[in-house]
Amino acid sequence: MKILLLIPYFGQFPKDYFGLFLKSVSYNKQLDFLILCDNPPQVALPPNVRVEKMQMSKFNDLATQRLGAQVQVKFGYKLCDFRPMFGQIFADWAKNYDFWGHCDMDLILGNISAFLNEDILTRFDIISLRKEWISGSFALYKNREAVNNLYKKSAHWEKVAKSVDYQRFDECGLLKSAEKMAYRTLAKGENILNLELETESITYIVERIKQSAESSHFAFFQQTLVKESIQKGSILKYEKGQVFIHKSSETRHPENMQFAHYHFITEKNNGFFQFPNWGEIPDIFYIDETGFYTEAEFKNHQTIYNQRIRAGKLKYWFRTVPKKIWSKISKLFKK
């Protein structure tokens, strides 16, 4: 099966982790990646990664033409809303592929083939690496007309396409409640069809199809095969294209358990986590809640870990807390 991952990206590439992403991509030779960007990265790329230059204005024109709705993307994160529509927007690029898909770059891919074999690729139309919702960080869509047009089954797809604000159409959509985010509710096992939604997302479409007569025409693979947070006491190891648990503090994730990818969406926002400043990404490294370690650094893991924790606490008290206080003071003056 030929698979194309489409990544439109506008602006400077994330220097903290782009190299880590590329390293993991290089071990997944069965996947092709196409990055469409306005500022091509000046780094060596693996053979399965191709870059084409595209301005945001060109994306807007192309999406407007292909979707028949006026698209006006003004910031990069809004691109995520269009992920379920990539089969239409980027039809010319995807035409020779069995699957097209999308993925984030703030992640490290494991051995994707170990999880998505030929049998799964043959049987399923949408493949999500999260069970609770269609995952924006990595999902595949079978390249057939019915699948490429699934987004149109949402009552809100045109509103999403025309809006300049991110509606989370590629995952859970938005709730009508003050909280807006549906992730916690869905993670607890609630069905998205039971929620009051402001935006019917691709996850909503999939769940509605499952409970309709159309269910015989589509097959959906949804399993949580990824790691998106590292608990205290747990350590991940990356070794030549594989991501697995080196040490575990969780019963649900035993040692040596493999993952399709590690998404550092949680860790990158804490004050302890440090990205590496490696000139060349090694084939083997370790990751815990404080960041990355080479094999040499890992021999002094506890010492470095303690240093990072102390540095994180200092950063919190001398940077984060003053910013929070100043933010509250500013709001008072605005009143």
DSSP H or E segment with residue 306: helix 301-315
DSSP structural state of residue 254: -
Number of domains in the chain: 2
Structure confidence at residue 334 (pLDDT): 61
User: What is the per-residue pLDDT across 130-163, written as a single tens digit (0 to 9) for each?
Assistant: 999 999 999 999 999 999 999 999 999 999 999 9
* 318 has a pLDDT exceeding 80: no
Q: Which of 156, 19, 134, 119 is nearest to 84 (CA)?
A: 134
Q: What percent of the chain has pLDDT over 90?
A: 88
For the segment 184-209, the average pLDDT, to the nearest whole number, is 96
Provide the pLDDT confidence category of residue 270 given band limits of 50, 70 and 90. Answer: confident
User: What is the per-residue pLDDT across 197-231, written as a single tens digit (0 to 9) for each?
Assistant: 999 999 999 999 999 999 999 999 999 999 999 99
* 117 has a pLDDT exceeding 90: yes
Provide the pLDDT confidence category of residue 257 given band limits of 50, 70 and 90. Answer: very high
Of 74-78, 96-100, 241-245, 269-273, minimum mean pLDDT range: 269-273
Query: In terms of domains, do 197 and 254 share one?
Result: no
Query: In terms of domains, do 188 and 152 share one?
Result: yes
143 in a structural domain: yes
Q: Which of 161, 158, 186 is nearest to 171 (CA)?
A: 186
For the segment 276-291, the average pLDDT, to the nearest whole number, is 96
Structure confidence at residue 29 (pLDDT): 97
Query: In terms of domains, do 186 and 212 share one?
Result: yes
331 in a structural domain: no
Structure confidence at residue 314 (pLDDT): 82
* 10 has a pLDDT exceeding 90: yes
- Domain range enclosing 55: 3-222
Query: In terms of domains, do 216 and 191 share one?
Result: yes
Q: Which of 191, 222, 253 is the last residue of a domain?
A: 222
Please identify which residue in the block is written with the tokens 């949408």: 126
pLDDT, greater one: 251 or 288? 288
Query: In terms of domains, do 231 and 119 share one?
Result: no
User: What is the per-residue pLDDT across 20-35, written as a single tens digit (0 to 9) for each?
Assistant: 999 999 999 999 999 9
Query: In terms of domains, do 135 and 63 share one?
Result: yes
* 241 has a pLDDT exceeding 90: yes
Query: In terms of domains, do 190 and 294 share one?
Result: no
Q: Which of 222, 250, 265 is the last residue of a domain?
A: 222
pLDDT, greater one: 179 or 8? 8
Structure confidence at residue 332 (pLDDT): 65
323 in a structural domain: no
* 275 has a pLDDT exceeding 70: yes
Structure confidence at residue 333 (pLDDT): 65
Structure confidence at residue 240 (pLDDT): 97
328 in a structural domain: no
228-233's contacts with Cβ under 8 Å and 24+ in sequence apart are 228/137, 228/262, 228/263, 228/265, 228/266, 229/266, 229/267, 230/266, 230/267, 230/287, 230/288, 230/289, 231/289, 232/289
Structure confidence at residue 328 (pLDDT): 67
Query: In terms of domains, do 47 and 132 share one?
Result: yes
Query: In terms of domains, do 169 and 53 share one?
Result: yes
Query: In terms of domains, do 33 and 132 share one?
Result: yes
Query: In terms of domains, do 208 and 91 share one?
Result: yes
Provide the pLDDT confidence category of residue 311 given band limits of 50, 70 and 90. Answer: confident
Q: Which of 222, 253, 278 is the last residue of a domain?
A: 222
